[in-house]
Amino acid sequence: MERAKWILAGLLVLVAVGAVQTPLRAEAPESTATPKELVATYRTLADTILGANKTESNLVASILSTTYHHAEATLAMVHASLKARKPAKAELEKLAALVAQLGNEGDAAVGGVRKRLVEGGHHHNAAEEHQGTYDEGFVIVTRSAKKVFLEAAGNIGKMTESPKAAALDAEWQKVKTQYTELMTAR
């Protein structure tokens, strides 16, 4: 990611330099200021870089939102099964997996993309990673939130033998609270 940014930046700089090269050669510059065309190009590039970060944040929020609503729907299915006294193991495990995905900011495939970004040197929350607030490459889900989600996921997964609606709701409440907190904070 960082490499791509620098390549893009390099190209833009080359274009800009090309645009100002003739007058620079034709007459000696009277000012030591960076040519305004270069500054303007850099400003545009900054917009792109910052925009990409914002887009990344929005995309991850969408992944979380999709996962959360999928989980919510699955929870309703579990409740329906429980109410009908039908087996709910498959739905419960699906719910556990979805809640775990909230904690992991996506499934393993998303994790693969995140790893690629980290490999390229891109850390969305570099300073916070250093402080231990975020895991490497994570964008929205803090380490403490991750723990909450994963603990809830494990507890939900363990309910498959004798699921109780009240216990399930208690776990879901933890998920909901944590999710809402994260999404409100961004």
Partner 1 sequence: MRLSSVRAGMALGMAVLAFLSLSCGGGKPDRHQQNAAAHPSAAVRHHFQFVDVAQEAGITRLLLAGRPGKDHLLDSAGAGVAWLDFDRDGWIDAYLVNGWKLSGKRVIEKGRNALYRNRGDGTFEDVTDRSHTGGEGRWGSGVAVADYDGDGWPDLFVTSFGANVLYRNRGDGTFENVAVRAGVESPGWNTGAAFFDADGDGDLDLYVAAYIDCTLEEVLKAQPTLAWRGVDKVALGPFGLPGAPDHFFVADGKGHFREATQEAGLKDEALAFGFGVRAADLDSDGDPDLYVANDSDPNYLYRNEGGGKFREVGLWSGAALSANAAAQAGMGITLGDANGDGFPDLFVTNFAEDYSTLYRGDGKGFFQDISEESGVAGITFQPMSWGTVLADFDCDGDEDLAIANGHIYPQVDRHPELGNHYAQRSLLLENTGGGHFADATDEAGPGFLPARVSRGLAAGDYDNDGDLDLLISNLDASPTLLRNDSVRSGACLTVNLEVAPGSGTVLGTRVSITLGKRTLMRDVSSGESYLSAHDPRLHFGLGDAKVLDRLEVRWPDGTRTVRTSVPVQPILTIRK
Candidate residues 75, 88, 99, 139; the one interacting with partner 1 per rule CB under 8 A: 99
Q: Which of residues 59-88 bind partner 1 (CB under 8 A)?
A: none
118 binds partner 1 (CB under 8 A): yes
Give CA torsion, residues 173, 174, 178, 183, to 10 deg.
-20
Write the CA distances from 6 to 1, 11, 40, 127, integer angstroms: 9, 9, 17, 21
Rounded to the nearest whole angstrom, what is the least distance from the CB of residue 125 to partner 1 in the complex?
A: 15
Question: Tokens 């879901």 — which residue?
Answer: 172
Residues 121 to 150: which contact partner 1 by CB under 8 A?
121, 135-136, 143, 146-147, 150
Q: Which of 159, 50, 152 is nearest to 102 (CA)?
A: 152
- Judged by CB under 8 A, which stretch of 11-19, 34-42, 46-54, 94-102 contacts partner 1? 94-102
Residue 19, Cβ neighbours under 10 Å: how many? 13
Q: Compute how many residues bind partner 1; rule: CB under 8 A.
A: 30
Q: According to the binding rule CB under 8 A, does residue 1 interact with partner 1?
A: no
Q: Report how far residue 139's alpha carbon sits from residue 158's, in angstroms, rounded to the nearest whole number.
A: 29
Q: Shortest CA distance to 96 belongs to which of 171, 167, 164? A: 171
Contact status: 186 vs partner 1 (CB under 8 A): no
DSSP state of 123: -
**119 close to 127: Cβ distance less than 8 angstroms:** no
User: In this chain, which of 28, 109, 127, 166 binds partner 1, going by CB under 8 A?
Assistant: 109
The whole-angstrom distance between residue 65's C-alpha and the CA centroid of its chain comes to 11
Binding to partner 1 by CB under 8 A, coded x per residue (else -) over 2-41, reads ----------------------------------------
Among 16, 75, 139, 156, which residue sits at the site for partner 1 (rule: CB under 8 A)? 156
Binding site for partner 1 (CB under 8 A): 93, 96-97, 99-101, 103-104, 107-109, 111-112, 115-116, 118-119, 121, 135-136, 143, 146-147, 150, 153-154, 156-158, 161
